[in-house]
Amino acid sequence: MDFRLTEEQALIQKSARDFAQKEVAPKARELDAEGRWPTELVARMAELGFLGIAVPDELGGGGADHVSYALAMIEVSKACASTGVIMSVNNSLVCDPLWKFADDAQKKEFLAPLAAGEQLGCFGLTEPASGSDASNMDTVAVRDGGDWVINGSKNWITNGPHADVILVFCCTDRSKGAKGTTAFIVPKGTKGFNPQPRDHKLGIHAAHSCTIFFEDCRVPDAWRLGNEGDGFKIAMSTLDGGRIGIASQAIGIAEAAYEKAVAYAKERKAFGEPIANKQAIQFKIADMAMQLDAAKVLTLRAAWLKDQAVKDKGVRHTSESAMAKLYASEIATHVTHQALQIFGGYGYSTEYDMERHYRDARITEIYEGTSEIMRVVISASALRG
Ligand code: CAA
């Protein structure tokens, strides 16, 4: 076992760190306060090849591995969790399934511009009445000659208000349950594809999400991704990768809060000495440091397994990705809580970053599968043996 990064992984980590610290971090508080979509940062991520990191070069991507992707996600999210999730949705939830399941024509038409960052994608699985119970969807696609007609709505769609393309999951045969789901790629501008104004949320204010209505939205069969009935498996295997992205986002948020808390503890004096001298603070720092390290090990292991799965289709990392996402998101909630506690009243003030990290961490336990669903996935695998 070798825990060292390869030269390429270290290079991508450094380039992400430079970008994040020099260009993203200085804007993060303003983006959050104004709920402003970071147009200029999305454009820079496209230039840097961060919007399709693991897609092969010849398909417009960065040609790197998923460990590099996770490392870059940590760095960007450490500076701004909103910018991090915009990046992760395009990489994990749109480029990755198109790379795995699209035919050559779809790769050329849809994947290449998405992987190069010329376009941005979003992922339409969740609905107003089905989040965790994802296969129980109301959105339908009905065949009409050589076309399909989609009706229904998807909500909480991250990147939705700005996306050029949606990967949308529809029920095409109610009698077959999960096996009656089919995926479609639908570009913006298609009649009947109607994104609504952005949602207002507790955190990740700069990463806009919205509801999208499909009203007699007619799409050709050429836009179907994978076989009819394979949509749910496409969605689930996509989320096996997406959860690595969210685990990395959670680590980035937690690491930012942790580093600021350590620096503050060394500066801030109480009872005649830096609070870092107090065991009450030292024990918090010890727990945070250990949890962050453990989350990184779980997450990079899942990313490494995803790289093995690229070479060997038999490799599954469903449980390992769920463990990484569950653990990293729960410790992000805990670490940001403890870091804010160390900051005391300053941590509660919008003059500092800490309250933003605290709010941003919370979503990582909800999207791309709640902590409860992660436990369902892990226990199902453990009990199967
Ligand atoms: N890979 C491949 N196939 C899979 C799979 C995986 N990871 N997981 C399940 N499947 C297959 C199963 O093998 C089964 O097929 P067979 O019958 O042929 O074996 C089929 O899919 C159905 O599986 P289940 O019976 O396990 O399905 P279920 O209805 O019980 O649901 C669940 C399982 C784990 C609860 C699932 O619904 C789930 O993950 N829910 C959470 C949804 C979620 O994460 N949503 C996130 C939305 S996206 C988002 O949040 C983006 C954002 O904002 C940033």
Model confidence pLDDT, tens digit, residues 29-68: 999 999 999 999 999 999 999 999 999 999 999 999 999 9
- The answer to whether the CB of 126 is under 6 A from ligand 1 is yes
Q: How far is the CA of 87 from the centre of ligand 1 (A)?
A: 22
Q: What is the pLDDT of residue 236?
A: 98
Q: What is the pLDDT of residue 1?
A: 87
The percentage of residues in the chain with a pLDDT greater than 70, rounded to a whole number, is 100
Instruction: Determine the topology of domain 122-231 in CATH.
Output: Butyryl-CoA Dehydrogenase, subunit A; domain 2 (2.40.110)
Q: What is the 3-state secondary structure (H, E, C) of 267-320?
A: HCEECCEEHHHCHHHHHHHHHHHHHHHHHHHHHHHHHHHHHHHHHCCCCCCHHH
Mean pLDDT, the chain, rounded, equals 98
Query: 31 near 79, Cβ under 8 Å?
Result: no
* Mean pLDDT score, 252-263: 98
What CATH number labels 7-119? 1.10.540.10
Q: pTM (2 decimals)?
A: 0.98
203 band by pLDDT with thresholds 50, 70 and 90: very high
- Identify whether 351 is a catalytic site residue: no
Q: Whose CA is nearest to atom 19 of ligand 1?
A: 233
Query: 122 near 94, Cβ under 8 Å?
Result: yes
Q: What is the pLDDT of residue 18?
A: 98
Q: Across-strand partners of 184?
A: 168, 224
Q: For residues 144 and 151, what is the distance between their CA atoms, to the nearest angstrom?
A: 13
How crowded is the C-beta side of 36, counted as CA atoms within 13 Å? 11
Domain boundaries, the chain: 7-119, 122-231, 232-384
CA-based angle 95:101:107, to the nearest 5? 60
Number of neighbouring beta carbons within 10 Å of residue 308:
12
pLDDT tens for each residue of 153-165: 999 999 999 999 9
Residues 6+ apart with CB under 8 A from 139: 124, 127, 150, 151, 152, 153, 154, 168, 169, 170, 171, 214
Residue 121, pLDDT above cutoff 90:
yes
* Mean pLDDT score, 79-102: 98
- The answer to whether the CB of 366 is under 6 A from ligand 1 is no
Q: How far is the CA of 318 from the centre of ligand 1 (A)?
A: 10
* Mean pLDDT score, 118-127: 98
Instruction: Determine the topology of domain 232-384 in CATH.
Output: Butyryl-CoA Dehydrogenase, subunit A; domain 3 (1.20.140)
- 344 phi and psi angles, rounded to 5 deg: 60, -140
